[in-house]
């Protein structure tokens, strides 16, 4: 199972569109790139998605390979497969983190989500979401707060998690 991203960070974007990837996030990209070794540049995939997306998604190679395998299992020619292929393949670009720990975000992607001098990274499990800080606060931040408000005070969000199969079954599934 791939390592997971945790946390969030706000960093500067320079005039050339270079963004320093925080070290804790770089380590995940490195560990989830099967070809990475010291001195090499970790590879990743930037998914910019549909026209209405207001963020970018940065996937590790392991995560994108898992998604590709899932798409391969779908019925060829189905509307659902075509949609996922158009997003995950057609609206995506391969990228790498340079030796200084920076990622160059192409101009068209910066323009798409309105980035200027700052970017906000937030972990989403096996990928990172990249937002303009103000857009994140307005879009996702308000949506999450509205959802939290629907629960009773003191509600434990972990109660939303599904029940896991017994440990022995999980170990067997992991081996497969």
- Residues 85-91, mean pLDDT to the nearest whole number: 96
| Structure tokens given for 31 | 């560990």
Backbone angles phi, psi at 18, to 5 degrees: -85, 135
pLDDT at 1: 45
Cβ within 8 Å of residue 138, ≥6 positions away: none
Does the pLDDT of residue 78 top 50, yes or no? yes
In 35-161, the DSSP E strands lie at 43-47, 56-60, 92-96, 102-104, 118-123, 127-131
Q: Which residues sit opposite 103 in a β-bridge?
A: 19, 97
Instruction: Decide if pLDDT at 168 tops 80.
Output: no
Q: Which domains does the chain have, with CATH numbers?
A: 8-175 (3.40.1550.20)
pLDDT for 42 beyond 50: yes
Say what the pLDDT of residue 40 is.
Answer: 87
pLDDT, residue 119, reads 96
CB 20 within 8 Å of CB 11? yes
Q: Is the pLDDT of residue 25 over 50?
A: yes
Q: pTM of the full predicted structure?
A: 0.86
Is residue 159 very low, low, confident or very high in pLDDT (cuts 50, 70, 90)? confident
Tell me the Ramachandran region of residue 13: left when phi exceeds 0, alpha when psi lies from -120 to 50, beta otherwise: beta
pLDDT of residue 169: 65
């Amino acid at each position: 199972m791939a390592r997971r991203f945790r946390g969030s960070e706000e960093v500067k974007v320079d005039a050339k569109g270079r963004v320093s990837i925080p070290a804790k996030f770089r380590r995940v990209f490195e560990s989830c790139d099967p070809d990475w070794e010291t001195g090499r540049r970790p590879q990743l995939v930037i998914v910019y998605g549909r026209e209405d997306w207001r963020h970018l998604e940065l996937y590790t190679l392991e995560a994108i390979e898992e998604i590709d395998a899932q798409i391969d299992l779908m019925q060829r020619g189905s509307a659902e497969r075509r949609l996922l292929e158009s997003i995950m393949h057609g609206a995506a670009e391969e990228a790498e983190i340079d030796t200084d720990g920076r990622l160059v975000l192409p101009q068209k992607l910066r323009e798409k989500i309105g980035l200027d001098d700052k970017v906000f990274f937030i972990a989403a499990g096996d990928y990172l979401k990249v937002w303009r800080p103000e857009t994140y606060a307005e879009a996702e931040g308000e949506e999450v707060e509205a959802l939290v408000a629907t629960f009773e005070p003191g509600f434990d969000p972990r109660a939303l998690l599904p029940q896991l199969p017994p440990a022995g079954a999980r170990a067997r599934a992991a081996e497969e």
